[in-house]
Amino acid sequence: MTRYEPAIDVNALAALDVHVHIEVDDHGHASLPADLVDAASKYFSADGPRPDLDSIAAYYRERNMAAVVFTVDAQTQLQHPPIDSAEIAAGAARNNDVLVPFGSVDPRRPDAVDRVRRLIEDHGVRGFKFHPTVQGFDPSEEQFHALYGVLQDAGVVALFHTGQTGIGAGMPGGRGFLLGLSNPMLLDPVAATFPDLQIIMAHPSVPWQDEALSVATHKHNTWIDLSGWSPKYFPESLVRAANSYLKTRILFGSDFPLLTPDRWLRDVAQTALKPEVMPGILKDNAVRLLGLRG
């Protein structure tokens, strides 16, 4: 077993994408059930193939970028076996010049804390991805404090989906998923109780953008990534914050493969984001957050 250690030439990077999904593993197993994959493809108008980890590494290598890669373990909610986060870490280890692995553990598993510890200690993951809506949990509940404590003690990052989601969109009852579980205000007590836990609130948090900005303004252990939406649709309040008072805690993310970094970079030129804040957003803030060395 090879434990991940980064070998990224930070100074040579054009950008660091903090939000990249591994949707199929080396065996062709998909991270989501087929009905959710089809619905998401329709929602995002993304009918192309889902690349495997090594193909994603090659894609980012060609662009002189690095990427944080992860899946979502929602075994309890979906009754669908997840992609193995240990395999993602192993794949990142063989592509450690461009990839940084995050783990994912279903918080509702009875052995969630032990799984988190093993992924950190044995496999070297640098953070964890949570999707409260798809995983079906309220992140503010105290029953998850033991899990957050392990993350804080290990110095790894917690990345939470926030805002509405395309997963389940258009399906009967949204397939039973509850959007309110991804309100960023539910992360405020997490950030308050675990002040050394670095928390990424992923995506423009529509329809709760003001809540996300409020949490990020008050709790300086929180960050916002700009994934999942073309920049031309960013709320004006988010652009204003990224240009000024939150500029050191805003992160570039694409949501690849559903949104590509090529499109993100093309569309960001149509926004009011200032040229002087873009180096921090594209790379420097993420390098600092992830503790990568130049």
Q: Note the pLDDT of residue 48.
A: 62
What domains sit in the chain, N to C, each tagged with a CATH number?
10-290 (3.20.20.140)
**Which bin fits 168, alpha (ψ -120 to 50), beta or left (φ > 0)?**
left
Question: How many residues in total does the chain contain?
Answer: 294
- Which pLDDT value is given to residue 47? 63
Asked whether 92 and 55 are in contact (CB, 8 A), the reply is no
Reading the chain (294 residues) residue by residue, the pLDDT tens digits are 789 999 999 999 999 999 999 999 988 899 989 888 888 777 777 666 689 999 999 999 999 999 999 999 999 999 999 999 999 999 999 999 999 999 999 999 999 999 999 999 999 999 999 999 999 999 999 999 999 999 999 999 999 999 999 999 999 999 999 999 999 999 999 999 999 999 999 999 999 999 999 999 999 999 999 999 999 999 999 999 999 999 999 999 999 999 999 999 999 999 999 999 999 999 999 999 999 986
176's CB contacts (< 8 A; 6+ apart) are: 168
pLDDT of the residue at 46: 65
pTM above 0.95, yes or no: yes
- The pLDDT value recorded for residue 49 is 66
Cα distance between the two ends of the chain: 27
List the beta bridge partners of residue 68.
100
Nearest to 138 by CA among 198, 191, 187, 201: 187
